[in-house]
């Protein structure tokens, strides 16, 4: 049996692994490289793609799923195994779709045919994100997907006491990244300082992921939250919420008011949001969900605290937009407008080299306070300690990563590990 690295090791993006054994082969993830200076697609031949019987998707992010059209184009006709949330995000309508969270519970093994069985758990990274332990031809292979044990929002089934012949483990933050607790503390302090100074904060966040962590911290510090409609809709969607979100966070949401942000780049008009108390929501309200989110509230009124510390009762505000790299013109305008009003942009994730987020940071109009959605090298070593892995392959990490070599193998795209 062999594990082929099609992408995602010694680089960030295009995560894609191919396991081949006997007459069957399967993929784990099919991601796209976001860095504009690199080849965006996984390193694969038509033969490798067409011959694969299965594709597991750990979660919806583009660096794990963006190459799906590429796979279809080159002849992939196998089964796709993922969670309901991920499949809906990607609008997957494939007749070969297998919803793993409908088939089994976390920690429960399920057979998929072809000599393949799988056990999954929640990876703490975003809605619908999972790790996978695949049993295949007497071997066990663990893929953590994007994994963190530090989210205060997403549930995680910690990987403990597990045996695997190979474990492909998230190590996106490498040796230099601080651990999750440290990052969270630094983020909290930044937000608390801004609150004291009554300054508005702009948080550019991805579509699915750490935006909810930001919302939680703001609510905990009693700072009004304004967020893109899509973020609020995802938060209010109760379908799978209990599966992926921690109880304490859901309880917090129920007692909170979130404001839906509308019509960027004009920072000023807002629409009334949602009091997210389930008990107040009857069937009719659910029906008119769109109306629920678009009821006008004093259009043209400034955000409370948008100008720092002038009037009584004005305070800080947290504004979340779904554009983590600030690629949209409207997002850029908003960041500048906010700066002009005494506010600051707070980046919580990695900036791409050609992004406006990076430009803002370099110009000191933004600060970077990471919220961990991945692991650093120490956290990878902790997983090594708490489990029995014959070989560990770090992924999602930069090219310069080195380890003590004991059982950690740093690999590169195009390389093969024989099992």
Q: For the CB of residue 122, give the shortest distance to Zn ion in the complex, in Å.
A: 13
Pair 185, 306: CB distance under 8 Å = no
Q: Which is nearer to Zn ion, 61 or 122 (CB)?
A: 61
Q: For the CB of residue 418, give the shortest distance to Zn ion in the complex, in Å.
A: 26
Q: Which is nearer to Zn ion, 21 or 349 (CB)?
A: 349
Place of tokens 């690199």: 38
Whether the bond into 265 is cis, omega within 30 of 0: yes
Q: Which is nearer to Zn ion, 177 or 315 (CB)?
A: 177
As a whole number of Å, the CA-based R_g of the chain is: 22
Tokens of 266: 């004009």
Place of tokens 């995560």: 15
Q: Which is nearer to Zn ion, 236 or 397 (CB)?
A: 397
Whether the bond into 111 is cis, omega within 30 of 0: no
Q: For the CB of residue 85, give the shortest distance to Zn ion in the complex, in Å.
A: 13
Q: Which is nearer to Zn ion, 53 or 349 (CB)?
A: 349
Q: For the CB of residue 214, give the shortest distance to Zn ion in the complex, in Å.
A: 16
For Zn ion, the nearest residue by Cβ is 61
Beta-strand pair 16-21/24-28: antiparallel
Contact residues for Zn ion, defined by CB under 5 A: 61, 63, 146
Q: Please state, in angstroms and rounded to a whole number, the distance separating the CA atoms of residues 208 and 234.
A: 8
Q: Which is nearer to Zn ion, 65 or 260 (CB)?
A: 65
Q: For the CB of residue 129, give the shortest distance to Zn ion in the complex, in Å.
A: 7
The answer to whether the Cα torsion of 170, 11, 331, 233 is positive or negative is negative
Tokens of 76: 């992939």
Q: For the CB of residue 123, give the shortest distance to Zn ion in the complex, in Å.
A: 9
Instruction: Choose among 206, 209, 226, 214: nearest CA to 324.
Output: 206
The per-residue DSSP string of 175-213 comes to TTSPPHHHHHHHHHHHHHHHHHTT-EEEEE--SSSTHHH
Instruction: Choose among 401, 381, 398: nearest CA to 389.
Output: 381
Tokens of 26: 């399967």
Q: For the CB of residue 327, give the shortest distance to Zn ion in the complex, in Å.
A: 18
Q: Which is nearer to Zn ion, 136 or 395 (CB)?
A: 395
Q: For the CB of residue 45, give the shortest distance to Zn ion in the complex, in Å.
A: 24
Q: Please state, in angstroms and rounded to a whole number, the distance separating the CA atoms of residues 110 and 40.
A: 33
Q: Which is nearer to Zn ion, 27 or 259 (CB)?
A: 27
């Amino acid at each position: 049996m062999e594990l082929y690295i099609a992408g995602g090791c010694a680089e960030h993006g295009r995560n894609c692994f191919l396991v081949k054994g006997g007459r069957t082969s399967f993929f784990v993830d099919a991601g796209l490289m976001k860095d504009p200076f690199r080849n965006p697609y996984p390193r694969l031949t038509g033969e490798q793609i067409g011959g694969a019987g299965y594709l597991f998707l750990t979660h919806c992010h583009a660096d794990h799923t963006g190459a799906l059209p590429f796979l279809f184009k080159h002849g992939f006709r196998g089964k796709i195994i993922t969670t309901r949330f991920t499949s809906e995000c990607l609008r997957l309508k494939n007749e070969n779709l297998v919803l793993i969270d409908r088939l089994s519970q976390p920690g429960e093994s399920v057979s998929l045919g072809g000599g393949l069985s799988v056990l999954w758990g929640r990876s703490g990274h975003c809605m619908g994100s999972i790790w996978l332990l695949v049993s295949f031809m007497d071997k066990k292979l663990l893929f953590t997907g994007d994994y963190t044990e530090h989210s205060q929002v997403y549930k995680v089934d910690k990987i403990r006491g597990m045996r695997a012949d190979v474990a492909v483990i998230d190590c996106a933050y490498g040796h230099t990244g601080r651990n999750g607790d440290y990052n969270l503390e630094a983020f909290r302090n930044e937000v608390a300082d801004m609150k004291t100074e009554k300054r508005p904060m702009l948080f550019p966040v991805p579509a699915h992921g750490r935006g909810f962590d930001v919302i939680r911290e703001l609510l905990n510090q009693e700072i009004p939250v304004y967020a893109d409609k899509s973020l609020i809709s995802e938060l209010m969607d109760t379908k799978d919420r209990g599966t992926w979100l921690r109880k304490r966070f859901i309880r917090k949401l129920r007692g909170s008011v979130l404001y839906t942000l509308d019509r960027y780049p004009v920072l000023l008009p807002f629409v009334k949001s949602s009091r997210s108390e389930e008990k107040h929501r009857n069937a009719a309200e659910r029906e008119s969900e769109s109306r629920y989110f678009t009821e006008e509230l004093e259009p043209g009124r400034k955000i409370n605290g948008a100008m720092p510390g002038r009037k009584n009762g004005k305070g800080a505000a947290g504004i979340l937009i779904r554009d983590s790299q600030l690629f949209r013109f409207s997002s850029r305008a908003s960041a500048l407008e906010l700066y002009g009003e005494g506010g600051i942009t707070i980046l919580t994730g990695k900036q791409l080299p050609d992004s406006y987020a990076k430009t803002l940071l370099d110009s000191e109009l933004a600060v970077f306070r990471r919220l961990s959605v991945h692991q650093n090298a120490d956290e990878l070593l902790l997983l090594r300690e708490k489990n029995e892995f014959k070989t560990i392959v770090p992924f999602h990490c930069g090219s310069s990563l080195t380890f003590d070599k004991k059982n950690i193998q740093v690999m590169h795209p195009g390389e093969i590990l024989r099992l």
